[in-house]
Amino acid sequence: MPLDPGWASLAEKAAELNSRYKYHAAVSVMEHALGDPDVGATTLVSSFGAESVVLLHMLSVMAPETPVLFIDTQMLFPETLQYQRDVAEKLELTNIQTIVADPAALDYEDPDGTLHQFNTDACCNLRKTVPLENALRPYDAWITGRKRFQAGTRAALEFFELDGDTRLKINPLAMWGREDLEEYMVNNRLPRHPLVAKGYPSIGCAPCTSPVKPGEDPRAGRWRGSNKTECGIHFINGKPVRTSKENAA
């Protein structure tokens, strides 16, 4: 959607929306964002990971027909694929769209499926970032499950932020803590990802995710042994973020 003439920039639009919904709760932010004409066409992007069911449940209550983009990197745990099917059925989400990388690009850039072993950034870009960017083109905004407590780079996270120069990102759970997520899941009797009970509090692709030991940061199992903490789909002030685990703790 072209920028409304009333807005000088997308940044001004985000600032106005943040002011408008500054004192709203997560459910209210999501509900209004889905129906606010100033936000535009909106989708929810979900990994169907450890905490994804919270936003998916909110969506199922408010607008179950809303498009949900699920990126299948073709390297996900079998448990994640089954969980995706189970949650979609239980919550009666009617518009889940599975996104995959272009087969020709996979054949050219990762013909033997080993790219992740020597270049994780390139693998994430091929299997996740590029497919998602293509899938987001029809939308003016997308909903994420990002939260302030997850990383130092997210400490000042707002409900609305820029995603490049053409799109908004909506973070309804920005102000929530782990206890809020737990309470919501318990109160609504939501199904848990089966790998959480096996020591995976943060779940990505199978080759790049390992169990987390007691006392470790919940994201310590993601790309263990490297400084990588983000797959590349998230931006800060419109720019892709690359941070060290020390900054993300």
| Domain edges within the chain | 10-248
Residue carrying the six token digits 């998230």: 234
Highest-pLDDT range among 1-5, 198-202, 244-248? 198-202
Q: Report the DSSP pairing between strands 42-46 and 167-170.
A: unpaired
**Phi/psi of residue 211, nearest 5 degrees:** -65, 155
* Paired sense of beta strands 42-46 and 141-143, if any: parallel
Average pLDDT, stretch 103-115?
96
The burial class, CB within 10 Å (0-12 / 13-18 / 19+), for 133 is middle
Residue scoring higher pLDDT (76 or 164):
76
Closest among 238, 165, 235 to 2, alpha carbons compared: 165
Structure token pair of residue 100: 């995959």
220: nearest Cα among 246, 238, 239 = 246
At residue 124, what is the residue type? C
pLDDT score for 217: 82
Residue-level pLDDT at 154:
52
Say which DSSP state 196 is in. G
Q: Is residue 205 annotated as part of the catalytic site, yes or no?
A: no
Reference 87, options 202, 230, 188, 170; nearest CA is 188
CATH number for the segment(s) 10-248: 3.40.50.620
Instruction: Provide the mean pLDDT of the chain.
Output: 85
Mean pLDDT value across residues 82-100: 96
Predicted confidence (pLDDT) at residue 220 exceeds the cutoff of 70? yes
Distance CA 60, CA 72 (A): 21
- The pLDDT confidence band at residue 8, using thresholds 50, 70 and 90, is low
Q: How far apart are CA 186 and CA 180, in angstroms?
A: 10
Asked if 141 and 42 touch (Cβ cutoff 8 Å), the reply is: yes
Question: What is the spatial distance between Cα 107 and Cα 53, in angstroms, rounded to a whole number?
Answer: 33
Cα distance between residue 200 and residue 104, in whole Å:
32
Angle at 151 between CA 150 and CA 156, to 5 degrees: 100
Considering the entire predicted model, what is its pTM? 0.85
For the stretch 11-45, pLDDT in tens is 998 999 989 888 899 999 998 889 888 889 999 99
Q: Cα(137)–Cα(157) distance, rounded to whole angstroms?
A: 23
More reliable by pLDDT, 23 or 198:
198
Report how many helices (DSSP H) and strands (DSSP E) the chain contains, helices first. 10, 8
Q: Which residue has the tokens 């080759």?
A: 207
Strands 235-236 and 42-46: unpaired
Instruction: Given the residues 123, 205, 208, 231, select the one marked as catalytic.
Output: 231
Model pLDDT for residues 111-167, shown as the tens digit of each residue: 999 999 989 889 999 999 999 999 999 999 999 988 866 555 555 688 999 888 889
